[in-house]
Amino acid sequence: MRGVVLHGPGDVRVEDRPDPRIVQPTDAIIRVTAACVCGSDLWPYRGVEKSDGPVPMGHEYVGVVEQIGDQVETIKVGDFVVGSFFASDNACEICRAGYQSRCVHAELIGAIGTQAQHARIPLADGTLVATPGMPDADLVPSLLTASDVLGTGWFGAVAAEAGPGKTVAVVGDGAVGLLAVLAARQLGAERVVVFSRHADRQKLATEYGATDILTERGDQGVARLKELTGGLGAHSVIEAVGTQESMMQAIRSTRPGGHVGYVGVAHGVELPGEELFFSGVHLHGGPAPVRRFLPQLIDLIWHRTIDPGKVFDLELPLEGAAEGYRAMDERRAIKTLLRP
């Protein structure tokens, strides 16, 4: 089959890779009908994350089940499925508490590489959720977002305890940040402030329900947000970048007793203990337990209540993956959808 392989910083190739096969009796093989490039794929693409030798890429996916292992019970051949970027048994104590990305049997789908024609999904019954039927073509991009970027933005909003009566701020106007805006509004937030300097992203944020847009960053951004919130800061702040500056901006934007939900994969971040202590904020985040939210998100998409697929502003055949990465790296595209 054909699949995307990263050979080194900036060196994305689409190559022949071995067809996946059932390894464990709990595995399923899917035909990937849509995959995409994640903001977190840019860390190794830019060489910030080092890797030894060529690595298959991709961890977001929707597709049709082609084969199942002997112990797969609920997922059937022919199902259209959405899965999380972590495989999970959805049965252990950690899963049952809603933290499937830290399942005691968790496996990272990134090691498999779903920017490809086919993919082996471990723990299929726990990891995959079937849609009510074959989706209309226009729903596929939105369903694909549920696999990571929407699920991650949603978790950020839940971790930040976005809800009715609250002012929510979003640090980061990438696809995760934009979908965190959508999530905050769905969860009932009264006011959603997004930090953004890019006209196209500001426009989409507004479509998703942002009420205020701030172009300032860092401590200037914090000062402007405080002006908007009677000097107190937001009740809930979603951090969707993962840098030192964005984390400090998020913490400082939050009122005492408020909640920071952080979902940008932390890179080189060191949180100063004293400042955090005296901030009095709640901090929660990490790799989103997307599986927790999949049934709800699929339902919202299936009934066309939300349209998260609008974050894809570039669609390419799988063979065009290199351009898909480049466009996101150069911020010409918010998010690239790949059709295997």
Query: What does the binding site for a copy of itself look like in residue numbers (CB under 8 A)?
Result: 93-94, 97-99, 101-102, 104, 230-232, 242, 244, 247, 255-257, 262, 265-274, 276-287, 289
CB of 102 to a copy of itself, least distance (A): 3
- Decide: 83 and 127 in contact? Cβ < 8 Å: yes
CB of 145 to a copy of itself, least distance (A): 21
Q: Based on CB atoms, which residue is closest to a copy of itself, 108 or 134?
A: 108
Buried b / exposed e across 7-39, counting CB within 10 Å, b at 16+?
eeeeebebeebeebebeeebbbbbebbbbbbbb
Sign of CA dihedral 174, 178, 179, 181: positive
Both tokens of 38, joined, read 């994640």
Q: Based on CB atoms, which residue is closest to a copy of itself, 52 or 278?
A: 278
Q: Based on CB atoms, which residue is closest to a copy of itself, 90 or 142?
A: 90
Both tokens of 335, joined, read 């998010």
Q: Based on CB atoms, which residue is closest to a copy of itself, 22 or 232?
A: 232
Both tokens of 159, joined, read 């971790």
Both tokens of 226, joined, read 């405080």
CB of 282 to a copy of itself, least distance (A): 4
Give the position of tokens 């999949």. Answer: 294
Pick from 286, 291, 243, 279: which is nearest to 261 by CA?
286
Q: Based on CB atoms, which residue is closest to a copy of itself, 202 or 244?
A: 244
Burial of 211 (0-12, 13-18, 19+ CB in 10 A): middle
Pick from 176, 251, 167: which is nearest to 210 by CA?
167
Sign of CA dihedral 271, 194, 191, 98: negative
Q: Based on CB atoms, which residue is closest to a copy of itself, 142 or 152?
A: 152
CB of 55 to a copy of itself, least distance (A): 19
CB of 251 to a copy of itself, least distance (A): 11
| Element of type H or E holding 129 | strand 128-130
Both tokens of 257, joined, read 């007793």
CB of 256 to a copy of itself, least distance (A): 3
CB of 162 to a copy of itself, least distance (A): 15
Rounded distance, CA 24 to CA 240, Å? 35
Q: Based on CB atoms, which residue is closest to a copy of itself, 151 or 287?
A: 287
CB of 268 to a copy of itself, least distance (A): 7
- Decide: 107 and 123 in contact? Cβ < 8 Å: yes
Pick from 257, 291, 325: which is nearest to 44 by CA?
325
Q: Based on CB atoms, which residue is closest to a copy of itself, 217 or 282?
A: 282
